[in-house]
Structure 1
Amino acid sequence: MHPKLRKLIEKHLYTTNEYGVEHQDPSAKVPDELLTYFKREHSLKTDVHKTCITCQIRQFQKYGSNRIKCSYIPRKLPDGAASKIAEISKSTNIPKEQATKILKASIDPVAWTELMFGFSDKDPKWFLRNYQKEQIRCTSKRLVVREGRRSGKTFAIALKLIYYAFNTKLDRGRDAQGNTVYMGPAIMIVTPYQAQLTNIFEEMEKLVKRNVELKSEITSGTGDSLYIKTPTYKMVFRNGCTIQGFVSGIGIRSDGSGGGTMRGQSASIVYLDEMDMIPEEVLDKVINPILATTPETILIATSTPIGKKGKFHEWCSNRDDFREDFLPSSVIPHWEEIKEEVLRDSTQESFMAEYMAVFVEDLKGVFKKEWVYNARLDYTYDETYNDGHLKRKLGLKSTSNCIKAIGIDWNKNAGTEFYVVGFYPQDRIWIGLDAVNVPHSEFSAKRWIRELVDLNHKWKPDHIYADEGYGHTIIEDIKYQSYTLRAKKDKTPKEEETVLIADRLVSFNFSSNIKLKDPITNADIKKSGKHFLVENAVRILQDGLFKFPVDDLILKDQFFNYIVEKRNKQTNKPVYGKQNEKVGDHRLDAFMLALGGLVLEESIYSGNQMTPSMPTFHKIEALKVAYRSPNDEIKSLYDQKKQQANPGALNILKIMRGGGSEEEDRMIKEKYKQQGLWPDDRKRSRSRSINKEEEFSLLEGINTYQGTQQGMQPISELKHAPKRGRFGRKKRSWR
């Protein structure tokens, strides 16, 4: 196409709003030059309504072809209409203007809705907008409407469905006498949430109640209601038409049987409201079979984009058999009055998606694409075992003192994912060191255990974090094997490392809460295990502190596939999920477990680093307080040395327990006294009675103190002393 023609199309058929969003112009007028060109080159049909002319040109410009199936909208009343109008006016004693509306209503859906419900372009409060008229008139078998919030798309489609209900006759075969049976259409409405379905039925009910004659043609409902709500929403008409509503939102069914009561339904008209939020599974298992069974079924889909590139995105962007209407909220007549409020309550991303109806990437994605692309580096997992090569390849300052963790996600279908992460303290960076997938098979458990033993020997990790869910029994088996090897003599190097698995391996439950330690107050911080892992990974990627090989496409795709499906209604916390089941998230889970394990065990939030006391030298200052403060202790020691006549200068070390305040020092001493770890001056006695002491044998001692702090713990309950953290070391406490 000549550039001049493209410019003409952009100028006359499209418009650009103040936010730089180009969209179709609802009031477009096609210049003669374009009409001539498209009629000559593409056989443009011109004896139709202007809506159809602009639609054809947009399709040719967008796809180079037009495969939309429709019956076109008539450009004008048929020949002989003038005499028919006069006849109607005379026989019914109404003005010719009214008779014209009646005749137009027989061929124009907009004229019918105006006649039935009183819409008028002259009424500023009760009129149809230009783009709503286009959508009501459109006869396309496939119509997809991409509009911003508050634009009135649901209201327009509700009018369109009512028009179909009263004016569509379908051949339903023959009766016993051989006569053709005509009935109204079966209309199916699908929404992701109950509130949206209720809103549509209430809109239709309010509209029908404006016309007494139309209201009398509906046979469903009780009392003042025109529809029933159980078992499904349903409105029934005398002509045999039914409008039935279904809800199928995200997470409605988690047993894999998506579609529920909708499966097996048939319809001659299907309307998908807020389609971008309807699960792909429902579209595949319910909608596609309907379209395949009855190709003449009319499909209408409306939605505001939510950020995923699913079926809605495909229908809007890649299907030349679909008519797409793209209209941002700025087309609303009163946009100037509400835009400040909208901008104030929106982020830039949500504004562009929800009000400009633009397909914004990562709107629901947890990991933004720019973070993931920045994390990819040109190295392979095969190169990571050579420290020197890794140092040169990645430009690390040092590869010494690397802290490693292995994350494990067990899965009976996708197999088990092992992911190894290393933290390099001098560079303060996390590096992906290894990724292994062991497929599911008949002897999966044994193979998975063998792979963990091999990886443990290869990497000698500081920590191993494994998903507790499916791998609970496997974790117990691994620990048992590790314990049994302890008694073996002459162990091989691999066995020496295997013995340590029991100490390194932590079973992590995604559904349970975990405890972090406030590095300042040492107070407990409770977090959901799943949310901690995700938030920790997000923070590290956002800060550019994680790197992984550019050829690991599995991890890259799973980063992009991880989304916020919805938010918990009570807590507003995100519910995470996968946009595409085929892509999955198992390697991502293993990565997050490894990363989270390092933070939980080694960071300042782990609680494994003891809060340092503050030893300092002070002058002696006498303070008379109720308890023996550090100053009192210094004074006492000074007096003792003075009485002993020690020669030379004297320095005394003052020890402040806790954070350095006397209040904390007092609390710690009282706690130690209660535990019997600190001498109590009030109970101290210079002499002790031998008669009062008891003589215990070893066995008697075990039995007496069993279950207490002084008792002996079985080996299986031994807890290893925590290591000091390596993420910013701190000195050991003076306590």
Structure 2
Amino acid sequence: MLRDRSVRKVYQCGRRTGKTETMIVEGLHKVCTNKNFRILYVTPYENQVNLIFMRMREIIQDSPLIKNDVVRMKNSPYMIEFKNGSTIMGFTTGASSGQGAASIRGQRADWIFLDEIDYMAENDFSTVAMIAGERSDIGITASSTPTGKRGTFYRMCTDKSFGYSHHYHPSMHNPNWNQQMEDQFRAELTQSQYDHEILAIFGTEEAGVFDKNKLDKALTFKYYTYDKLTENDKRKIELSGGNYPDEYIYDRNNLPPYNPFRCMGVDFDKYQASSSIIILDFDVDIRKFKVIKRIEVPRGEYTLDNAVKMIIELNDIYKPSWIYVDRGYGDYQLERLHIYGDEHPSSGLKNKVKGWQFKNTIEIIDPVTKEKTKEPMKPFMVNQLSVSFDRERIILSPFDIILHKQLVDYAVERVSQSGIPIYSSKNEHYVDALGLAHLGFVLEFPQLSSLIKKPKFTTKIKHSVASLGANRVKNAFKSISQPIKNPWKNYNTHNKNDDDDLPGDKPYWTKAPKINSNSQRYKTAKWGNRTGIGFKGRSLW
């Protein structure tokens, strides 16, 4: 890795392989052999940059030659200055802050070292890349142990068009590795952790909702695009052999082929993001769901009205059978679409547009008991989408990096007290739109999704020799036909004591005296009066 003279290098390494040590040695060599050379070390968290500078000071203290060249060292900010005018500085991106490595903005560098880049946010690397965009000879060396994310680090290692010289070293390349270490790590780590930490392979990210391998597989089923290719896309295609994709680009003058199995999903969000729309087809030839369009309605003064207009236009072009929309902030839009559908019956919008509240429940038929059950709306929707990805029944365009990235990053942030998962709340709107479009197939075309079953009704009549409820009817007629018995008929018989009975051994039936309602003494008694037969007034209380 040290002998590699490439301007862009990436180290995909397991734990304890010395990737950080290599970058420290490389950085010290560059500042000692180049005048006025400026190096930046960038890490996701404070303790990591602190460890880098601690190790750098140890090396400097052990080398009288390097120590003699140092002018000063300080920790706030992390900086080491040399006599030849060169400088080493350390920064953190603040991976959990979501501020896009704001502390690095405005810095100048001749070489940038990114340690544990797979733990940084996407916006963090964008900031760093802008620094390197000043000149073509500014170098970047990135290293990390894979987490399973299909982000910047993954593309650096797997996509040659990024232009990075790739070095792969699992933990077994450590000269001190032995069988005892192998057994210990296999006993302490799960298989997924072992793949990431020791084998240094991407595998599957544990935190995500969707299987990353299945998401990657969804990109390979069909080579197509539904947006015009960018110049960057064209350069990548030319570098890969010039094989251009099929284009599914439609408008009012170029309508798509009619497909009755087509659904649209819409996620509205006025304040956090633009309105997101996904159109999903079912390909009857290969029996898979295929995303044929992803649209973003930018934020603006009339965001909601613009979203309604876009849905009406897309409905005219793609003619979906069903349109499922998020009612979280879509009540106004839903009403406007229904009014438009009422005024323009040919659009079908009055009947095909359905609104759903993610926080509500959805009623489905249990496939085992055949009884109706209520499920939390959003977890049900996400689970159905996850199952279709697991069954490899969804096709994604390999040119839509945004949708793929949101699916990869989609995760469970926490679980509520009632056991309901709470999903990602940032950069997830296309996932929700795709989930709604897929839910349209699950509920409206269950025979295609094969995920739920609806009750089947029949008009056939079957005859049986058994008489349903015969005993109950017989007993009812028997009770009617029998005369009413007088309970006082056998009063004297019941009142007789057996020879060995003692007083109080058994209860007796006693006929209560008939009360004459016309008697004056009962008429004059009022509620709350304790006088009368057997009472002696309130003194008893």
TM-score (norm 1): 0.44
Instruction: Indicate the SS of the match to 1:505.
Output: strand
1:339 aligns with 2:186: no
Q: Is the 8 A contact 1:415 1:438 kept in 2?
A: yes
1:639 to 464, 467, 475: 475
1:331 Cα deviation from its structure 2 partner? 1.0
Q: 1:330, 1:436 → 2: CA distance?
A: 44
1:282–1:210 CA distance, 2 compared to 1 (3 A): same
Q: 2:294, 2:24 → 1: CA distance?
A: 53
1:213 Cα deviation from its structure 2 partner? 10
Q: 2:185, 2:360 → 1: CA distance?
A: 37
Q: Deviations over 1:588-640 (max 9, x none)?
A: 65332122245468989999989xxxxxx9x99xxxxxxxxxxxx99775432
1:474 aligns with 2:344: no
Identity, % of aligned positions: 19
Instruction: Indicate the SS of the match to 2:56.
Output: helix
Q: Is the 8 A contact 2:35 2:86 kept in 1?
A: no
1:543 aligns with 2:391: yes
1:479 Cα deviation from its structure 2 partner? 3.9
1:407 to 247, 265, 271: 265
Q: Deviations over 1:324-380 (max 9, x none)?
A: 5432221122242222344463447x65555344566999837434356558999x9
User: Which runs of 5 or more residues in structure 2 are unaligned?
Assistant: 225-245, 249-254, 416-420, 457-463, 483-541
1:419 aligns with 2:279: yes
Q: Is the 8 A contact 1:186 1:268 kept in 2?
A: yes
Q: Is the 8 A contact 2:263 2:440 kept in 1?
A: yes
Instruction: Indicate the SS of the match to 2:408.
Output: strand
Number of residue pairs aligned between Structure 1 and Structure 2: 422
Q: 1:161, 1:274 → 2: CA distance?
A: 16
1:466 Cα deviation from its structure 2 partner? 1.1
How do 1:364-443 and structure 2 match up within 5 A?
A: 365=212, 367-371=214-218, 373=220, 382-385=256-259, 405-409=263-267, 417=277, 419=279
1:244 alignment partner AA: M
User: Which runs of 5 or more residues in structure 1 are unaligned?
Assistant: 1-133, 172-184, 222-226, 388-401, 486-490, 579-583, 611-616, 621-632, 647-735
Q: Is the 8 A contact 1:367 1:560 kept in 2?
A: no
How do 1:28-47 and structure 2 match up within 5 A?
A: none
Q: Deviations over 1:668-694 (max 9, x none)?
A: xxxxxxxxxxxxxxxxxxxxxxxxxxx
Instruction: Report what 1:300 is aligned to.
Output: 141
Instruction: Indicate the SS of the match to 1:339.
Output: helix
Q: Is the 8 A contact 1:145 1:303 kept in 2?
A: yes
Q: 1:261, 1:573 → 2: CA distance?
A: 31
How do 1:141-156 and structure 2 match up within 5 A?
A: 143-156=9-22
How do 1:266-277 and structure 2 match up within 5 A?
A: 266-277=108-119
Q: 2:476, 2:162 → 1: CA distance?
A: 98
1:476–1:283 CA distance, 2 compared to 1 (3 A): same
Q: 1:370, 1:302 → 2: CA distance?
A: 26
Q: Deviations over 1:548-583 (max 9, x none)?
A: 6xxx848976664444338667669774987xxxxx
Instruction: Report what 1:189 is aligned to.
Output: 41
2:355 alignment partner AA: V
- Say which is worse superposed, 235-244 or 204-213, in terms of deviation: 204-213
How do 1:509-548 and structure 2 match up within 5 A?
A: 509=358, 512=359, 514=361, 519=366, 525-526=375-376, 529=378, 532-545=380-393
Q: Is the 8 A contact 1:533 1:592 kept in 2?
A: yes
1:500 to 332, 346, 351: 351
Instruction: Report what 2:501 is aligned to.
Output: none
Instruction: Report what 2:23 is aligned to.
Output: 157
1:211–1:526 CA distance, 2 compared to 1 (3 A): farther
Q: Is the 8 A contact 2:337 2:350 kept in 1?
A: no
Q: 2:291, 2:117 → 1: CA distance?
A: 41
Q: 2:73, 2:95 → 1: CA distance?
A: 30
1:597–1:247 CA distance, 2 compared to 1 (3 A): farther
1:474 Cα deviation from its structure 2 partner? 2.3
Q: Deviations over 1:386-413 (max 9, x none)?
A: x7xxxxxxxxxxxxxx8x7542245899
TM-score (norm 2): 0.57
Instruction: Report what 1:451 is aligned to.
Output: 313
1:163 Cα deviation from its structure 2 partner? 5.5
How do 1:577-592 and structure 2 match up within 5 A?
A: 586=430, 589-592=432-435
1:405–1:325 CA distance, 2 compared to 1 (3 A): closer
Higher relative contact order (CA 8 A, sep 6+): 2
2:109 alignment partner AA: A
Q: 2:422, 2:328 → 1: CA distance?
A: 22
